């Protein structure tokens, strides 16, 4: 027998008490079609592939969408003035994180000091100080969340690799084919607002942040070659020949005509994208460019060989 419908006015996540007052039976609230993300909250089991509008989900993956959905469920019982921060805020703003942080399945909820940090299953509570944090409603979800600059600063406490701190900063200030979430001066102000965990990583990352990096792997690739002593490449460099547009390169050394391309998994799984990539590489090769193509394993597990390949491309260009 089909379960009785839930009144639409309760929304996708609702308090048990509100449902009872709306006439929903206790038996219906125990039905398997409703999830129990938090004590006292019920949610229909979401189809994460169709639940999200583009305005909310953007290019986020399943892990990010599930994380945000859990935050929306918690909002039904959140204390007045509580807001989302750290990993949860990063997921809402679309800031890139190592996947293991999102798979933790714990959301970050903050309150202003001296308030007591929230506790409970699936919640990581924090106490925030007004001098160190700025909060605003998220434009797509309407939830209170730390600003992109504050989120970047807070994440330094849980990102041990400064390259990931740079990657989050890059994403926050990205202006290439995007509207920046924050300005560099906002990140600078957040890094120097006062004492906080991870402040040394913030100040190390700050001068390495760039506005034209389009992804976390691109940031890691740039830092890998620079840390190895190679010159800093141009980012998302657009190549023209005789007035014709040949394509954009993730990283490029225009003088040497050496380009670096990160081959994300979506390039291999999307046949249309793969065909476009091949055609673009052929155009660039015909124009005299050497393209070093980099996979996820090469970037994150074999950096020394990656750098050696770039050096060999430089050498081949010098000999040519």
Query: 55-75 pLDDT, tens per residue?
Result: 444 446 788 988 999 999 999
Query: 87-142 pLDDT, tens per residue?
Result: 999 999 999 999 889 888 899 999 999 999 999 999 999 999 999 999 999 999 99
Q: Cα(40)–Cα(123) distance, rounded to whole angstroms?
A: 14
Task: Give the contacts of 1 (CB within 8 A, at least 6 positions apart).
Answer: none
- Residue 57 confidence (pLDDT): 41
216-319 to CATH, choices 3.40.960.10, 3.65.10.10, 3.90.76.10, 3.30.70.260: 3.40.960.10
Is residue 2 within 8 Å of residue 15, measured between CB atoms?
no
CA 65 to chain centre: 11
Q: Is the pLDDT of residue 16 over 60?
A: yes
pLDDT mean across residues, the chain:
91
What share of the chain in percent tops pLDDT 70? 92
Query: 25-40 pLDDT, tens per residue?
Result: 999 999 988 999 999 9
Is residue 251 within 8 Å of residue 234, measured between CB atoms?
yes
CA 42 to chain centre: 28
- Percent composition of the chain: helix, strand, coil (DSSP 3-state, to 5): 40, 20, 40
Query: 273-317 pLDDT, tens per residue?
Result: 888 888 999 999 999 999 999 999 999 988 999 999 999 999 988
- Residue 317 confidence (pLDDT): 80
DSSP structure class, residue 240: E
Domain ranges of the chain: 8-44, 61-208, 216-319
Q: Cα(283)–Cα(245) distance, rounded to whole angstroms?
A: 10
Model pTM score: 0.90
**Maximal CA-CA distance, the chain:** 80
């Amino acid at each position: 027998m089909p379960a009785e419908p839930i009144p639409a006015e309760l929304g996708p996540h609702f308090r048990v008490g509100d449902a009872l007052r709306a006439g929903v039976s206790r038996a219906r609230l125990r039905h398997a079609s409703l999830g129990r993300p938090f004590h006292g909250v019920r949610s229909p089991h979401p189809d994460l592939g169709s639940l999200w509008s583009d305005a909310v989900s953007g290019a986020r993956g399943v892990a990010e969408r599930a994380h945000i959905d859990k935050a929306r469920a918690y909002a039904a019982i959140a204390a007045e003035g509580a807001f989302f921060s750290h990993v949860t805020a990063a997921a809402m703003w679309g800031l890139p994180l190592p996947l293991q942080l999102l798979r933790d399945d714990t959301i970050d909820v903050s309150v202003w000091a001296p308030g007591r940090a929230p506790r409970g299953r699936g919640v990581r509570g924090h106490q925030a100080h007004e001098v160190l944090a700025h909060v605003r409603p998220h434009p797509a979800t309407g939830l209170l969340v730390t600003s992109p600059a504050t989120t970047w600063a807070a994440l330094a406490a849980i990102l041990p690799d400064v390259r990931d701190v740079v990657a989050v900063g890059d994403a926050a200030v990205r202006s290439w084919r995007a509207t920046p979430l924050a300005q560099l001066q906002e990140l600078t102000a957040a890094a120097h607002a006062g004492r906080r965990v991870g402040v040394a990583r913030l100040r190390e990352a700050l001068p390495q942040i760039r506005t034209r990096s389009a992804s976390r792997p691109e940031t890691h690739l740039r830092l890998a070659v620079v840390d190895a002593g190679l010159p800093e490449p141009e980012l998302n460099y657009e190549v023209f020949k005789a007035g014709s547009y040949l394509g954009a390169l993730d990283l490029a050394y225009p003088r040497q005509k050496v380009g670096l391309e990160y081959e994300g998994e979506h390039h291999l799984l999307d046949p249309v994208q793969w065909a476009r990539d091949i055609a673009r590489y052929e155009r660039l090769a015909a124009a005299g460019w050497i393209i070093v193509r980099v996979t996820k394993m090469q970037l994150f597990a074999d950096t020394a060989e990656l750098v050696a390949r770039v050096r060999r491309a430089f050498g081949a260009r010098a000999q040519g």
